[in-house]
């Protein structure tokens, strides 16, 4: 049983560019949440997708957007990258939007130069 898978594992982008990160949830899960983790900090909630809709959103600008597909996989898009967007981006999956026992992927390490 595959857990949560994220791709790519590492990525280097230039300031101003756009990036797309991908997440496949654990088998049987239908909800995907995205988190940003800056170095030395705890993960910060970006948004959650359930039934292909954004259900909740954290304090992140509109440059951060997402999508959920019918197979429950999800994408995180970040436009107009800033140096401060450099972070580990984590995807967490759960069932029916209950994130109490969420399963996290290994993350995508994004570096903006």
Partner 1 sequence: DAKTTQPPSMDCAEGRAANLPCNHSTISGNEYVYWYRQIHSQGPQYIIHGLKNNETNEMASLIITEDRKSSTLILPHATLRDTAVYYCIVRGVGNTGKLIFGQGTTLQVKP
Which of 32, 78, 87, 92 contacts partner 1 by CB under 8 A?
92
Radius of gyration over every alpha carbon of the chain, rounded to an integer in angstroms: 13
Binding mask 50-89 for partner 1 (x = CB under 8 A): x----xx-x-------------------------------
Q: Residue 43: how many CA atoms within 13 Å on its side-chain side?
A: 17
Closest approach, Cβ 56 to partner 1, in A, equals 4
Cross-strand pairs, 5: 24
Pairing of strands 64-68, 74-78: antiparallel
Stretch that binds partner 1, among 12-20, 44-52, 68-76, 77-85 (CB under 8 A): 44-52
Which of 33, 64, 68, 81 contacts partner 1 by CB under 8 A?
33
Residue 82 Ramachandran class (φ > 0 left, ψ -120 to 50 alpha, else beta): beta
């Amino acid at each position: 049983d595959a857990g949560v898978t994220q791709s790519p594992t590492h990525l280097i982008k230039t300031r101003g560019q756009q990036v797309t990160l991908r997440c496949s949830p654990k088998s049987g899960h239908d909800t995907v949440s995205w988190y940003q983790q800056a170095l030395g900090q705890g993960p910060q909630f970006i948004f959650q997708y359930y039934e292909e809709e954004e259900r909740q959103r954290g304090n992140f600008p509109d440059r951060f957007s997402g999508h959920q597909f019918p197979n429950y996989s999800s994408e995180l898009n970040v436009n107009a990258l800033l140096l401060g967007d450099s972070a580990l981006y984590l995807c967490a999956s759960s069932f029916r939007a209950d994130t109490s026992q969420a399963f996290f992927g290994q993350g995508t390490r994004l570096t903006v130069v």
